[in-house]
Amino acid sequence: MPETNTLIFAVSFTVYSLAIVAVGVYSSRFARRSDEDYFLANRSLGKWVAALSASASSESGWVTLGLVGMAFTHGVQAYWIIPGCLIGFAFNWFIVAGRLSDQSRKLGAVTVPDFFAFRFRERFPILRILCVVVIAVAMLLYVAAQFAAAGKSFSASFDNVEYRYGVLLGALIVLAYTVSGGFRAVCWTDFLQALLMVGALAIFPIYLLCIEGGYGFITDKLGSASAELLQFTPDATMWALVGFLLGHTALGVNFGYPGQPHVLIRFMALKSRKEAMFGGVIALCWGALVYWGAVTVGLIARAMLIEGAEWTSALAGTDGEQGLVLAARYMLPGVVSGVVLAAVLAAICSTADSQLVVAASAIANDIYARLFSKAGKADHLFVDRLTVFVLGALAALLVYDRNVQVYKYVLFYGWAFLGASFGPQLILALFWKRASYAGCIAGMVVGFAVAIIWPNVYDEAATGVHVYNLPLAFVCAFVVNVIVSLAFPSARGGLQDIEPLSSDAT
C-alpha cells in the first residue's frame, strides 16, 4: 500500500476508534447510580438497539476473521453457517426473548444467575455460584479470543504493529468505554458497530464480485485447485454427514444461542415483550447479510490466492483469517479500507464489551453484592468497574504471546461452554413447570463438564466422524435436567408460581 494511502487508512481508523470511545463515555452521563442501570440500562432497550446490539455481540471476531478463514480453508461448505446461525437467531427472538423479558422483570432479576436463583427460590447460593464459575471461565476465554482477533487485525493492517501490541490496543479501546458506561455504553456502541459491520460485510464482497467477474471467478479458481473446495456437503458416510450437519461448521452452532448470557441480557433489558417480535426480524436480516458477506470474502481471497494476486502471498500457508483485512487494505482506497478495518474492530469490540459486562455482573453483582455486601447499590459501582478492568486485563494477557485460531477458540470453548451450561437449563426453566432446582444444577454441571472433556478425549481422526462438543453436551445436559427434575421436584412451586421478588432477594 502506498505511503499516502497508509496514512489515510490509519487516520480513518483512528477517527472511528475515538468516535466509538466518545459515544461510550458520553452514554455514561445518562447512567443512574444503580446496578440495574449499569447491567440492564434500566430495562429501557427498544427493538432496534436491542436487536442490533444483541446481534453484534453474538457475532464477534469469529465472523470477520474466523468465518472468513473457515471459508478460505474449507470452501463453499462455509455457507452452511447461514442457516446454522439464523435458526438460532429466530429461536432466541421469537421463542425465548419475550418470555425471558417478562419473567426476569417479575422476579427482579438483573443478571442471568439472578434469574435462575430467583426462579428456583434458592436459599443457599449453590446455583448462583455455579453460574458465576461457568460465566467467568467461558467469558475469559471468549474475550481472550476477541483480543487475539484484534492482534491479528492490527498486525495485518499496519506493518509496524506486532500481534501482541495489537492485542493490547484492542483491549485498551474496549476497556476505555466499557469501564465507564457499563451496559448502556455497550448497547449504544454495539448498535453503531452493528451498522458498520453490515455495511462493510454486505457492500465490500459485492464490490469484489463485480471487479473479479462474479461467482464464475470463484468457481473457476477453486475448482482448478481442489474439487473439495466446491463440495457443498461431505462425500462420505451417513454418520459423517450427520456429524458435519451438527458440527461447528453448520447447524450445530444453533445449540449455543439460548445459552449466551451476553445475548440473553438484551432480552432481559427490553422495554416490553412486544419489542421482541420486530427485533427478531431486524436481527435475521442483519445476520443473513453479515454471514453471506464474511463467507464470500473468504472464498474470493482463496480464489485470488490461487490466481496468484500479489497481496495474497501473506495468506499462503495460513488459516486465512486475515483475508478480509488484507483484501480491504490492498484493494480499496485508504479511507474506505480504514472503514473496513473499523468494521472488523467493531465485531471484536461489540462482543468483548458485552462479555466483560456480563462477566463483571456475575462476579460483582452475583457474588459481591448479593452474598457479601450490605451497602447500597451505588457503592457497588466501583466494584463493577474494577471487575470489568481486571477481567479485560486477564483476557489480554492470556493471548498476549499466543496467536490462537479465533474460530475454533470461540466455538469449541466460549460458545460451547456457555451454550451447553445455560441453554438447556434456560429453556426448561422458562417453559416446563416441572423443572426443578436440583435438575437445573445437575444439568448445568453435566453440560459444562461434557463441553470441557469431550474435545480432549474424543479422537476424530480415529473414527472419521466429527462430533462437535456443543450439541453433545447440550443434549446430555437437557436429558439429565429432565431426569433429575422428575426424580427431585422442587418443593416450593413451579413456573406457574412465579411472583415479583425484591431485587435484594438471594
For 496, the grid coordinates are 406457574
Phi, psi (5° rounding) for residue 45?
Answer: -75, 130
Q: Are 83 and 246 in contact (CB under 8 A)?
A: no
For 452, the grid coordinates are 470441557
Instruction: Dump pLDDT digits (tens) for 225-278.
Output: 988 899 887 666 666 677 777 777 778 889 999 999 989 999 998 988 888 999
- Please say whether the structural domain 3-231+239-249+259-270+282-497 has been given the CATH code 2.60.120.10: no
Percent of the chain whose pLDDT exceeds 70: 85
Give the position of cell 475515538. 18
Give the Å distances, CA to CA, from 285 to 5, 86, 215, 289.
33, 9, 22, 7
C-alpha 399: how far from its chain's center?
Answer: 18
Give the position of cell 461489540. 350
Rounded distance between C-alpha atoms, residue 136 and residue 205, angstroms: 37
Instruction: Dump pLDDT digits (tens) for 401-435.
Output: 876 777 777 888 889 999 999 999 999 999 999 99
Q: Would you kindly state where each structural domain of the chain is located, as residue ranges?
A: 3-231+239-249+259-270+282-497
Q: What predicted TM-score, i.e. pTM, was given to this entire model?
A: 0.86
Question: pLDDT at residue 220 above 80?
Answer: yes
Rounded distance between C-alpha atoms, residue 40 and residue 44, angstroms: 8
Question: Residue 501 burial by CB count (10 A; 0-12/13-18/19+): exposed, middle or buried?
Answer: middle
pLDDT band at residue 340 using 50, 70 and 90 as cut-offs:
confident
Angle 55-358-380 from CA coordinates, rounded to 5°: 140
pLDDT score recorded for residue 381: 67
Phi, psi (5° rounding) for residue 270?
Answer: -60, 145
Rounded distance between C-alpha atoms, residue 347 and residue 145, angstroms: 12
Q: Are 424 and 478 in contact (CB under 8 A)?
A: yes
Please provide the size of the chain in residues: 506
454 vs 35: which has the higher pLDDT: 454
- Range with lowest mean pLDDT among 1-5, 84-88, 153-157, 273-277: 1-5
Q: Are 202 and 290 in contact (CB under 8 A)?
A: yes
